[in-house]
Amino acid sequence: MAIGDKAAAAGLTTYSSTQDRRLGYENDNRNADYIAEDRARLTTLEGVAIGVPKFSVAKSSAGQTVQSDNPTFFTSAAFSSPVINKGGWGWSGGVLTVPKTGVYMVVATMKLAPTDYYRQYCGVTRNVSDPSNLTAGAFIARGVVFPGDRASNQSNSVGPSITATRLLVALNQGDQLRMVGFQSNYGQNTVGIDDGATSLTFEVILQDV
């Protein structure tokens, strides 16, 4: 293969040996433009391949209680130190601040101690700090279970595990994410999170920019 054939096959400009040598500066500048375009693409690729923003926390030994019929934001005390916090996330008081605009995967799991549940949900909100504003539209991910009405559910040993997943959701730098738990039970009991770190998890990872 002759010199320049690969460049031509890739759609790049090539030059003949008979070209006026005074045009060499144009050749150099054109090649520099090619390099700049490739660097821009490389910067984009590095942004989603190296140092990808990712965050993961799981239940602490203290956990947190959830009152019946009372949507509850989980504070940072409910979680142990992050398993991973990479890419510039802010994490304080149970509020996770997005470091970079992009498309993210969001996953949250919750398993409460057993009782006679009627309904449960867990989810992740964006830029909502008041529990009274927790309408369905406030969530970017939510999982809901209905263990059953009283006629079919008279057991105090009901303990479902819930996962709220969103594979692709657009988030902006500075968005504040919070994990929420809710439970309604027939005895109106306040309950804690079940045993084990996997009973409460909150994880977010960048997928695309």
Please give the radius of gyration of the chain, using alpha carbons only, rounded to the nearest integer.
26
- Beta-bridge partner residues of 125: 139, 178
| Residue 179, both tokens | 């994990």
pLDDT of residue 159: 77
Quote the pLDDT of residue 11: 72
pLDDT value of residue 2: 67
In the prediction, which pLDDT does 57 show? Answer: 97
The two structure tokens encoding residue 198: 């996997």
Instruction: Indicate the domain borders of the chain.
Output: 5-49, 54-208
Question: pTM, whole model, 2 decimals?
Answer: 0.77
CATH 2.60.120.40 fits 54-208, yes or no: yes
Q: Which residues of the chain have pLDDT under 70?
A: 1-8, 10, 12-32, 34, 36, 47-49, 148-157
Closest residue by Cα to residue 62 from 48, 42, 76, 49? 76
pLDDT of residue 26: 62
Query: Residue 1 is which amino acid?
Result: M
